[in-house]
Homo-oligomer: A and B are copies of this chain.
């Protein structure tokens, strides 16, 4: 057991009940009613109907000034009032991964303003990024967001901005799963 490796298990029971699931691009996941998010290890658990694994890692693009602002403004997962969650697994194409670090940063921030947009919705939207690309998983990232029901429109606005960005032209698989805490 490790405190940076998590399994997201889709099945018929779990802490989060699915309200809506939308496949935006690429292959869907099998239909399930619940998602569980649990601390795990690199070993496959073969639970549920599908299971996705992700690892909390160091910051890959965030610069010092942004990191300080984020740290000051963001809140942790698990807030009592944040009864809504979104689980959005994402894969980017080979063209993205073949770019050098400065090219990816340029697209993410200078052009697409990913961190800038995200910052506008703090502290209402709490989020955590999990990396999956290097551990032989079908997605590159698993993103998890938690917010109060009244902040759902703001969250949708944030997603809309990101999905219109140049960065999102590199996304070739994305599923948006919305849940309520059981």
Which A residues have a C-beta under 8 Å from some C-beta of B?
A: 2, 4-5, 41-43, 55, 57-64, 66-67, 97, 99-103, 105, 131, 133-136
Contacts and interface: CB of A to CB of B under 8 A. Distances in A.
10 contacts: A2-B136, A4-B136, A42-B42, A42-B135, A55-B134, A55-B135, A58-B97, A61-B101, A131-B134, A134-B134
Contacts of A55: 134-135
Instruction: Give me the 4 closest cross-chain CB pairs, A-B, nearest first.
Output: A63-B102, A64-B100, A67-B100, A55-B134
A55 B62 CA distance: 23
B133 A135 contact: no
Contacts of A58: 97, 133
A59 B101 contact: yes
A71 to B, nearest CB: 10
Contact of A62 (B42, B43, B100): B100
A4 B64 contact: no
